[in-house]
Amino acid sequence: MLSCTPDTTDRRRESWLSHNKGMSEYLDAAVEIAREAGEILLSHRGVRFELKGEFDLVTAADHASEKLVVERLHTRFPDHGIVAEEGGAAEMRSEYRWFVDPLDGTTNFAHDFPMWNVTLGLARRGTVIAGVVFDPLHNELFTAERGSGAYLNGERIHVAAVETLEDALVATGFPSRRRHKNVNVHFYYQLAMITHGVRRAGSAALDLAYTACGRLDAFWEFGLNPWDMAAGTLLVEEAGGQVSGMRGEPLDLHGPYLLATNQRIHAESLALFDEIFHGHYRYPIPEMPAVREGAETGLSHV
């Protein structure tokens, strides 16, 4: 597996230039727009935020980034449809459709937690053909074209070689709203007990990008939107991984859930998920024991 950490070697620069020469018009435009949007987000750090719903946040950065992305896409590809988070699913009748999240990880951004990005994915007749995930803070640009591989800052990336869930590091996410109705805590606990650990960083696009480049071995989540996963799922596939629904269905950008893995642990993950869906837990969730009043160090004093 190649390192996910960019370097400045001559080989890396040559790889970057070579890859750029082969970029399609669409991916080239997406990279340019994502970088420009990233600069806008960086300039808005520290700007106040407001509530969008019961828990969702929206910042001035969301609006500024989306305005730029949508305007640039309309100018470059006036016949393409655009589905963007802040602007809703205003789709055109076009065989090409862009899925845009101008700021994936809004809550992280608002709290200055360094896990947020710009993501653009382009689908043709429902199949994602190009995708970009750009992390401006760390200057990491993940790109993919269908059939041409996945790249981080110009170097080809591949999924990790982990063979079992027991040796895997995995990630998931939870919704901002209606968390009390989300069943993912059951899956979270089982995976936390079986794997090396479960990470919950709050940015689905970066979780998928990290799965593509081997920092993570799998990612799953309920209730994602198409713009959350369009680019990231293509990255995983082009890096040698596998994506599907959590019951093994073919990937559906409008589906209720997503599983993305390094392919080697996909079948094992689906088998575990099937158990949980049917209420069979390998590790029962423990009850909270009573803690004596006044105990200073919590559970060690029961």
pLDDT value of residue 8: 42
Q: Which of 175-179, 233-237, 289-293 tops mean pLDDT? A: 233-237
pLDDT at 297 over 70: no
**Residue reference for tokens 């459709």:** 97
Q: What pTM, to 2 d.p., does this model score? A: 0.87
pLDDT value of residue 53: 54
Kindly indicate the confidence band of residue 176, based on its pLDDT and cuts at 50, 70 and 90. low
Please compute the mean of the pLDDT values over residues 32-38 and round it to a whole number. 98
pLDDT at 17 over 80: no
pLDDT value of residue 213: 98
pLDDT value of residue 286: 85
Compute the mean pLDDT over every residue in the chain, rounded to the nearest whole number: 87
Residues 49 and 41: beta-carbon distance below 8 Å: no
Residues 54-101 pLDDT 10s: 545 667 888 899 999 999 999 999 999 999 876 655 556 789 999 999
Helices (H), the chain: 10-21, 25-43, 60-76, 106-110, 184-194, 204-213, 226-238, 266-277
Q: How far apart are CA 246 and CA 105, in angstroms?
A: 23
